[in-house]
């Protein structure tokens, strides 16, 4: 896939600086203080419009939210807003609620732009987006996957997974993992003779039947039968001059037409909005693009609802995250 072909403009409207500032203004009007944000977070994660005391079950609109807690005016005990929820231990409720608000409104904003709008560190902003997307990925069907190499044009950033002194794209583990994935179920079907021959052979170094007979300590009958079976499984190829080599396993499934156009569209948006990403987090950015492009699925309230069902995600979990070789696409 050539970069030039990505210049095709997608039909969606790109969010402008003006649009981002306008969205921020509406957000600030809706949630003027941290207490307003905490009240909203409590309501969303407890699926209740009226605050309810966890100790005495009293419900009352008048409960006062004082940052992370609200006080019950009947039993006078303090209820935690975020304990046991996805939002546990958050430091900036404004930024969190704001992040969800921008995403649900379909206003594209990359992590650096968002950090500036909400006056938080870029790394915090980036982690917030990744944590939200680690929730969203569970909403994607596991049945529609494509190889991560399909997105190579969007992969231009290094990550902890990038081999030293190599281009970020070297993270694309297609060949190795796919080859192993495809061959391993076949290998389980082999008998001792066949497995012995398969192990003796290499892809680019053919051996003759004489060499195989000696090295494998086989009879010529065993060898002939085993080679035929290995050939029928696509594991060994017969070369001219009585030579045999390991066959390359069948290529991974190629994207169908509909998937190809989605890959192209998603790659274009990732480049435009995020100016390139690492392969490590590819899956999470695909989720972010899904949110921008499927406004019906990810409208108002949908994202915060998905987060409310999830448990807290720690920074260490974000660092440990690695996109699978075959990524899910909507
Ligand atoms: Zn109470």
The answer to the question of residue 29 being in a domain is no
Ligand 1 centre distance from Cα of residue 50 (Å) = 13
Does residue 210 fall inside a structural domain?
Answer: yes
The pLDDT value recorded for residue 8 is 43
Q: Among residues 77, 47, 82, 83, which one has the least CA distance to residue 64?
A: 77
Q: How far is the CA of 90 from the centre of ligand 1 (A)?
A: 24
What's the gap in Å between 264 CA and the centre of ligand 1?
55
Output the CA 306–ligand 1 centroid distance in Å.
28
Calculate how far, in angstroms, residue 74's C-alpha sits from the geometric centre of ligand 1: 5
> Does residue 207 form part of some domain?
yes
Instruction: Determine the pLDDT at residue 3.
Output: 46
Does some domain include residue 109? no
Concatenated DSSP letters of 121-156: -HHHHHHHHHHHHHHHGGGS-TT-EEEGGGGGGGB-
pLDDT of residue 2: 43
Q: For residue 327, what is the enclosing H or E element?
A: strand 326-328
- How many angstroms does the Cα of residue 43 sit away from the middle of ligand 1? 16
Q: How far is the CA of 75 from the centre of ligand 1 (A)?
A: 4
Note the pLDDT of residue 314.
94
How high is the pLDDT of residue 217?
85
Return the CATH number at 186: 1.10.10.10
| Other residues' Cβ atoms within 10 Å of the Cβ of residue 316 | 8
Dist. CA 146 → ligand 1 center (Å): 52
Give the count of domains, the chain.
1
| pLDDT of 228 | 92
pLDDT at 306: 92
Within a domain: 266? no
- The residue segments making up the domain with residue 225 are 176-246
Residue 31 lies in a domain: no
Block mean pLDDT (10 aa), the chain, length 330: 45 70 96 92 88 92 84 92 91 94 91 94 95 94 84 85 77 54 70 86 83 88 91 87 81 68 91 88 95 92 91 93 88
183 lies in a domain?
yes
Give 31 Cα–ligand 1 centroid separation in angstroms: 25
> Is residue 240 domain-resident?
yes
CA of 82 to the centre of ligand 1 (A): 17
pLDDT for the residue numbered 218:
85
């Amino acid at each position: 896939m050539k970069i030039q072909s990505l210049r095709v403009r997608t039909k969606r409207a790109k969010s402008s600086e003006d649009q981002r500032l306008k969205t921020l203004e509406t957000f600030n009007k809706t949630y003027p203080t941290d207490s307003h944000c905490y009240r909203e977070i409590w309501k969303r994660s407890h699926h209740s419009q009226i605050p309810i005391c966890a100790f005495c079950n009293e419900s009352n609109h008048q409960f006062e939210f004082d940052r992370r807690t609200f006080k019950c005016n009947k039993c006078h005990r303090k209820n935690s807003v975020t304990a046991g929820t996805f939002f546990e231990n958050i430091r900036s409720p404004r930024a969190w609620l704001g992040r969800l608000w921008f995403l649900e409104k379909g206003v594209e904003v990359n992590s650096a732009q968002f950090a500036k709008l909400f006056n938080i560190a870029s790394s915090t902003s980036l982690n917030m987006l990744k944590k939200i997307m680690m929730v969203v990925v569970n909403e994607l069907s596991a049945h529609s996957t494509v190889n991560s190499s399909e997105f190579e044009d969007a992969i231009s950033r290094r990550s902890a997974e990038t081999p030293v002194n190599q281009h970020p794209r070297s993270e694309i583990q297609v060949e190795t993992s796919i080859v192993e994935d495809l061959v391993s179920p076949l290998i389980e079907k082999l008998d001792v003779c066949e497995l012995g021959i398969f192990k003796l052979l290499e892809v680019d170094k053919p051996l003759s039947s004489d060499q195989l007979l000696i090295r494998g300590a086989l009879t010529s009958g065993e060898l002939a039968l085993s080679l035929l079976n290995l050939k029928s499984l696509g594991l060994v190829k017969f070369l001219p001059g009585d030579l045999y080599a390991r066959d390359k396993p069948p290529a991974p499934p190629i994207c169908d037409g509909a998937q190809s156009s989605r890959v192209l569209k998603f790659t274009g948006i990732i480049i435009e909005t995020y100016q390139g990403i690492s392969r490590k987090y590819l899956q999470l950015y695909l989720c972010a693009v899904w949110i921008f492009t499927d406004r019906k699925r990810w409208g108002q309230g949908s994202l915060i609802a998905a987060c409310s069902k999830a448990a807290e995600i720690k920074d260490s979990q974000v660092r440990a995250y690695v996109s699978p070789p075959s990524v899910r696409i909507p």
